[in-house]
Amino acid sequence: MKIAILGGDGFCGWPATLHLSDAGHEVHVVDNLSRRWIDTELGVQSLTPMDSIQERCRIWREVTGRTIHFHLLDLAKEYDRLKAWLAEHRPDAIVHLAEQRAAPYSMKSDRHKVYTVTNNTCATHNLLAAMVETGIDAHLVHLGTMGVYGYSSVRAPIPEGYLNIRIDTPDGERAQEILYPTRPGSVYHMTKSLDQILFQFYAQNDGLRITDLHQGIVWGTHTSQTALHPQLVNRFDYDGDYGTVLNRFLIQAAIGYPLTVHGTGGQTRAFIHIRDSVRCIELALSDAPAAGDRVKIFNQMTETHRVRDLAEMVARLTGATIATLPNPRKEAPENDLVVKNDQFLALGLNPTVLAEGLLEEVVDVARKFAHRIDRSRVPAVSAWTRDLGATVEHDPEGRSLKSVS
């Protein structure tokens, strides 16, 4: 297949690119490299030293003989170039990971809120409009988030995107299937809820074939392809904005920093290892809906954990201490979460579960590059509201956080 990977330079995008190239597909990375600019803006860097996308592609070719094509293009701002690109290249499938992906970044300031909505919504809608206009028959696989479901406690397992409900009518009870009611908890998550509406419309009106992956929190860093050469290493974020919770615990443990649990740690979240994330994208590509079908939605996760349980597990494994901090997010302090992922299991996903060996692999990577860590950038300081921001005063090492944000 000829596959366009939008956002192929990012944390999930790069390993997905290598995985699909390795599987023999003709892979085109389309990216505006915005994630690298955000590193510059925030003054942080990937824990792992990361080469340019051009250099990464060169190394991949040296190591495997396979070619990855790179195209610099801003989906949100360059509609006409996007349309021309699709008309020229006519990919069989499009993997869309070209959205700003960090909830804390999306809540840093009004500028970040506006950027996240504008970038994510315009990127996704431009893509859909251009697919219709060029008449290409590509299967669109989009990376969404489990966060669209919200994290209020429901005792019922979360189904894969659609919910069967019953409504009273004058003629008696009526059953109906609806998109699971969305309740996003940040501006970032909200943009993925908006995407769902865009997808619903374009599948219905234009028969676009769309798969939406509601992904859990990714952990781990290596895949078998990124491990092939030091310069193929994946980016690995440790900072309070882009670092994901389990990876952050492991990095904190590696550098002797207290594990930062916000609030009670009673938040239950869904997780997936980066190896499974790229495998799921491949499985989703193999199972495209037909034109006229509703959007196919997968829950892309393999297990759920309570944040404080993860912290305790990492503490046991590494001897790290745990610091309980005020929660800068506006969210339920505790929630249950049971998630269905039957569809990927049926397609043959063999879940990578939390195991000491894999956790230690992450700690090893963190130890190797510990000299690249700026400890002052470890705390999560983006607050969901001004009031919550006022409660975040000092990090576990006693630095004032007021000056950091």
Which positions lie near a copy of itself, rule CB under 8 A? 79, 83, 109-110, 113-114, 117-118, 121-122, 125-126, 129-130, 132-133, 135, 154-156, 163-171, 174, 176, 178-179, 181-187, 190, 193-194, 197-198, 200-201, 204-206, 330, 384-386
**Cα distance between residue 160 and residue 343, in whole Å:** 8
| 400: DSSP letter | B
Whether 145 is a known active-site residue: answer: yes
Active-site residue, selected from the candidate residues 115, 151, 180, 188: 188
State the Cα torsion 387-389-395-398 to the nearest 10°. -70
Dist. CA 366–CA 12, nearest whole Å: 18
Q: How far is the CB of 170 from a copy of itself (least distance, A)?
A: 6
From the CB of 98, what's the least distance to a copy of itself, in Å? Answer: 16
Give the Cα separation of 184 and 195 in Å (integer). 12
| Smallest gap from residue 191 Cβ to a copy of itself (A) | 9
Residue 121 CB, nearest distance to a copy of itself (Å)?
Answer: 5
Report the nearest approach of a copy of itself to the CB of residue 154 (Å).
7
| Phi-psi sector, 24: left (phi>0), alpha (psi -120 to 50), beta | left
Cβ-based nearer residue to a copy of itself, 125 or 139: 125
- Return the exposure string of 245-273: e unless at least 16 CB atoms fall within 10 Å of the residue's CB, then b: bbbbbbbbbbbebbbbbbbebebbbbbbb
Q: Which of 203, 328, 204 lies closest to 260, judged by CA?
A: 328
Q: Which is nearer to a copy of itself, 167 or 290 (CB)?
A: 167
Is the CB of 126 or the CB of 215 nearer to a copy of itself? 126
Distance, in Å, from the CA atom of 303 to the CA atom of 261, rounded to the nearest integer, reads 20
157: its two tokens: 């397992």
Choice between 120 and 318, CB closer to a copy of itself: 120
Rounded Cα distance, 203 and 209, in Å: 6
Question: Which member of 48, 116, 134, 145 is catalytic?
Answer: 145
Report in angstroms how near the CB of residue 133 gets to a copy of itself at its nearest: 4
Answer yes or no: 83 catalytic: no
Q: Where are the alpha helices (DSSP H) in 290-394?
A: 307-318, 342-346, 356-368, 386-391
Q: Would you say 191 or 247 has its CB closer to a copy of itself?
A: 191
The C-alpha atoms of residue 129 and residue 186 are separated, in whole angstroms, by 26
Active site residue 192: yes
Centre a 10 Å sphere on the Cβ of residue 371 and count the other Cβ atoms it contains.
Answer: 7
Buried b / exposed e across 57-89, counting CB within 10 Å, b at 16+?
A: bebbeeebebebbbbebbbbeebeebbebbeeb
- With H, G, I as helix, E, B as strand and everything else as coil, classify residue 265: coil
Given 79, 115, 180, 192, the catalytic residue: 192
Cβ-based nearer residue to a copy of itself, 330 or 402: 330
Active site residues: 145, 188, 192
